[in-house]
Structure 1
């Protein structure tokens, strides 16, 4: 079956499709039906059988499959892709994704802070590098659409009242760290002559919130999925030793829990690793680290908006090779519309809905948002070859990331002492 065989005459940009599908999900959850939230937590084979593979839990997973399957088909129709091919590809994609989520749910794996996206990416990479997948299979994967739907739903978790509760010091540190580290990382990347897409992704990943920032930036600049996969791999690999080593450094030099928490929250890129490292230090450190990291996460939408404007203004070359003036019309044309969905969702859940309504859908919304991200990373793995990730050309991005992360660790510690010492 060819890709063209089932294309429709109608085609919508995937940014608008993600806003429509993400918005429809929110409305359905609020006014009609809340998807059940399956559990994937287990510590041994007995719990795996009794909890994860229990009939009611498998039923919840099946309902999530039906929902994502229908949305994926709707996305294919809206964007003019082959929905007939998707009928074959998506069940396979979902099965591989669920395997990754189950692996990540093991208590030992959780203690190492290995997230589901690591397993989904790895599973996809192993398959794509050991089997020869047909072109129509790869072409059917809707990686960017899945990511953007997840980002729209991510807006439901950015609640402005929670931002205010984080405290002035947490917000001040987050802003100081994000601005200083982002510009330093950008400078290092340009000095090493990295291309602009990698420069933007690495700068955002190091300075804001790791995986989510890299994804949002890739969406804002319409970045290459292979480059995104590489940056995400760096974020996850580097976060693990930082999570283990930094608490011991803090204890050795007798940093206060407040300073340690602010240091951990501002410099470790993934939220899960921040929580794990804060737990190693103490309750106060855990609280402060979580506040600081959440404050940085809040800047994600603002950063995506600013990056999209900057990208449009500085990249003036059009597809036909001509140079376009950065008019308001051009900025709007290139602006990632999924950011509007993210902001609208955040405003809706922050100022319009009652707290009880937000609480009623919070867990289910988080579960389905995470599922879209993991589906996207399974897709990235299936699209990517190891040779694309780790080769001679990957040395400079690695050096840039490590240098920027080193600066992040030092400057964040200084700011933590100034604000919390």
Structure 2
């Protein structure tokens, strides 16, 4: 199953040290750091960030790709060193094994480069196997055929990469679009998240007689933001570590299914990419997997997916953590120490990378507004800041999908038992059709207008 470290919930009173000791914050610092660096180079008139934001051109003759790689070998090295340096600072301060990470990341980057080249092949594009999806497939093959060594495992930091990618995504989305569509996304997400959460919890406790904490953890993973929600809410209700691991495994299983099923069904039905991205945002169970599915459809799909999933559903993790912590403490647990839940629990559990997403969006939006929308300066912002960040974001997601694949073991996924699987699947049976109805039928015209 996905190798995710399960930690007990930390107190929100961690103070300023949390800014350097939490992965969520480091994803924010790295994402915003890349954004500011791109802006500084733009202000100095340099195109350095554009040159190192490698984008393999589409090719049918490998000679085209080979020529590009040879011509940009130095830039590829610079991009690698840039990512390595930023991630390494975080890894060091977070207390992980630096030496193993360096060796592992070198291998991860090399595989990512191979995947990116293959993903640009016209044959792969014909079958919608863009680089992110191809990365997942590669990762699954490697992870289930080869025993992953510890030094490589140290670099497979799925959540870290996807959170960084989402902050970078914010820099490519105008904040005015978030203000315009955010309330709609949040309202739709409220219906989806609440319906799915209650369905899984009810089925888990009433039909399959699972422990309340276990059912709550499953419901969180299936209704909000997948792995992160399973860990955060599982911790807030003091679920067993094994239960959190099972929830993570089921999130991974269904996320992988939806990565391939949703884009194929969407293209078969001819669903417009705007509503399609919103539907993926309501129906996918993990940010990384959903981004891969949306990326297979196009940039508009990525935008509507992000509004629906990140702005809409992911926002619920803090609220649900607080609610379930209150229920757990007041109803399920014996309060020997007399402690009570407090509002600070919401902040303690809120995914900080979502805030980074908003800040990045605001910063770039202000910059674009300051230079005007129809000027040469605006074009240069798009050419030297926004487009390069999009490419760097894609690389962050390739690291993510490779990590998901390499840490997913099919053999272990079969050991979770049928009852948790059945309970989680009841949520799928509600989530996917309801998401289709709201995103495509009810709100289809609205999501089609989001550009």
Alignment TM class, shorter chain as reference: 0.7 to 0.9
**Matched ranges for 1:201-216 at <5 A:** 201-204=221-224, 214=226
Q: Which moved more, 1:16-25 or 1:82-91?
A: 16-25
Contact 1:234 / 1:398 at 8 angstroms: preserved in 2? no
Q: Tell me what 1:188 maps to.
A: 199
CA distance in 1, matches of 2:164, 2:254: 20
CA shift for structure 1 position 274: 6.9
Contact 1:202 / 1:401 at 8 angstroms: preserved in 2? yes
CA distance in 2, matches of 1:335, 1:171: 17
CA shift for structure 1 position 240: 3.0
Assess, with a 3 A threshold, how the Cα gap between structure 1 residues 231 and 349 changes in structure 2: closer, same or farther: farther
| TM-score, normalised via structure 1 length | 0.74
CA distance in 1, matches of 2:194, 2:73: 47
CA distance in 1, matches of 2:28, 2:90: 11
Question: Greater relative contact order: 1 or 2 (C-alpha under 8 angstroms, separation 6 or more)?
Answer: 2
Aligned pair 1:56/2:82, yes or no?
no
Contact 1:154 / 1:342 at 8 angstroms: preserved in 2? yes
Assess, with a 3 A threshold, how the Cα gap between structure 1 residues 189 and 380 changes in structure 2: closer, same or farther: same
Look up the SS of the partner of 1:40 in the other structure: coil
Q: Tell me what 2:56 maps to.
A: 40
* Structure 2: unaligned runs, 5 residues or longer: 1-17, 42-47, 205-213, 236-243, 282-289, 330-334, 372-377
CA shift for structure 1 position 220: 6.8
CA shift for structure 1 position 233: 0.5
Contact 2:197 / 2:427 at 8 angstroms: preserved in 1? no
Aligned pair 1:237/2:260, yes or no?
yes
CA distance in 2, matches of 1:146, 1:64: 15
Q: Tell me what 1:15 maps to.
A: 24
Aligned pair 1:408/2:435, yes or no?
yes
Assess, with a 3 A threshold, how the Cα gap between structure 1 residues 373 and 277 changes in structure 2: closer, same or farther: closer
CA distance in 2, matches of 1:41, 1:113: 16
CA distance in 1, matches of 2:338, 2:129: 45
CA distance in 1, matches of 2:54, 2:387: 10
Contact 1:117 / 1:377 at 8 angstroms: preserved in 2? yes
Look up the SS of the partner of 1:315 in the other structure: helix
Q: Which moved more, 1:139-148 or 1:340-349?
A: 139-148
- Out of 26, 29, 37, the position equivalent to 2:38 is 29
Contact 2:263 / 2:296 at 8 angstroms: preserved in 1? no
Assess, with a 3 A threshold, how the Cα gap between structure 1 residues 136 and 295 changes in structure 2: closer, same or farther: closer
- Out of 299, 309, 320, the position equivalent to 1:310 is 320
Assess, with a 3 A threshold, how the Cα gap between structure 1 residues 196 and 58 changes in structure 2: closer, same or farther: farther
Q: Tell me what 1:144 maps to.
A: 159
- Out of 86, 92, 108, the position equivalent to 2:101 is 86
* Structure 1: unaligned runs, 5 residues or longer: 1-9, 205-212, 251-259, 279-288
Look up the SS of the partner of 2:72 in the other structure: helix
CA shift for structure 1 position 243: 1.8
**Matched ranges for 1:168-187 at <5 A:** 174=185, 177-187=188-198
Q: Which moved more, 1:301-310 or 1:236-245?
A: 301-310
- State the aligned residue count: 376
**Matched ranges for 1:319-338 at <5 A:** 325-338=340-353
| TM-score, normalised via structure 2 length | 0.70
